[in-house]
Amino acid sequence: MRSCEAFKNAIEIIKDLGIPNPEKIAQSYPHNLSGGMKQRIVIAIALACDPILLIADEATSNLDVTIQAQILDLLRDLKTTTISSILLITHDLGVVAQTCDRVGVMYAGELCEVADVKDLFTNPKHPYTKALLNSVPKFAQTGKLQTIAGIVPNLVTPPLGCRFHPRCERVMQICKNKKPDNIDTGNNHQVACHLHIN
């Protein structure tokens, strides 16, 4: 059994995350662990540095819904007990709705809308955000699922002006050559779209 300080700290962090048999887990190889357990250990590794910000990039991808819910619970607990901020990067709008306080929607590498999570879901302002929300399957959906026409642009030669313009249903002439500014629409809600110029 190892006894160095770093190993003892690792055991403590693993224990704090509610993982059973921390001594055994700390000496296991990744292939000995389940997907959910591996994800918890990655979070433990990040916590070992005592961060003030935890960046969780697709932290719940490829996990089944039960394990996903456990990881999200863990992140929520950490947010109230251990870390002041968590930046969650995800394609899953359900994860955003359940977990986040504030959300930034990105398209082709640029922020197009930033708002409190409830405000974004009830009052989306950017055409891309609206299209994204419309393309999420609804519980009682019967008709065809909505999609966003076109494809994501090549970022080596991104479109001029608004990067979303080749796919936007509300596109105007100005959108094709002028990049929209970030406009504050009140309620701490910002949107980068020419439709919102006063």
Q: Tell whether residue 83 is a contact of ligand SF4 (CB under 6 A).
A: no
Alpha helices in 48-192 (DSSP H): 65-81, 93-99, 117-122, 127-134
Q: Tell whether residue 183 is a contact of ligand SF4 (CB under 6 A).
A: no
- With contacts defined by CB under 6 A, name the span among 30-38, 89-97, 137-145, 187-195 that binds ligand SF4: 187-195
Sorted by sequence, the CB contacts under 8 Å of residue 21 that are 6+ apart come out as: none
Q: Site for ligand SF4 (CB under 6 A): which residue of 22, 180, 189, 190?
A: 180
Q: Tell whether residue 168 is a contact of ligand SF4 (CB under 6 A).
A: yes
Interface with ligand SF4 (CB under 6 A), residue total 14
Instruction: Select 6 or 149, whichever has its Cβ closest to ligand SF4.
Output: 149
CA distances from 38 to 63, 107, 132, 164 (A): 11, 30, 30, 37
Can you say how many angstroms the Cα of residue 186 is from the centroid of all Cα atoms in its chain? 23
Q: Tell whether residue 105 is a contact of ligand SF4 (CB under 6 A).
A: no
127-166: contacts with ligand SF4 (CB under 6 A): 127, 162, 164-165
Q: Tell whether residue 22 is a contact of ligand SF4 (CB under 6 A).
A: no
For CA atoms 90, 91, 96, 98, the dihedral sign is negative
Q: Tell whether residue 175 is a contact of ligand SF4 (CB under 6 A).
A: yes
Q: Tell whether residue 172 is a contact of ligand SF4 (CB under 6 A).
A: yes
- With contacts defined by CB under 6 A, name the span among 8-16, 78-86, 117-125, 188-196 that binds ligand SF4: 188-196
Q: Site for ligand SF4 (CB under 6 A): which residue of 170, 177, 184, 188?
A: 170
Place of tokens 């055991």: 11
Count CB neighbours of 126 within 10 A: 27
Q: Alpha-carbon dihedral of residues 70, 44, 84, 18, nearest 10 degrees? A: 50
* Long-range residue pairs from 7-13, CB within 8 A, at least 24 positions apart, any chain: 9/48, 10/44, 10/48, 13/44, 13/47, 13/48
Q: Which residues bind ligand SF4 (CB under 6 A)?
A: 126-127, 162, 164-165, 168, 170-172, 175, 180, 193-195
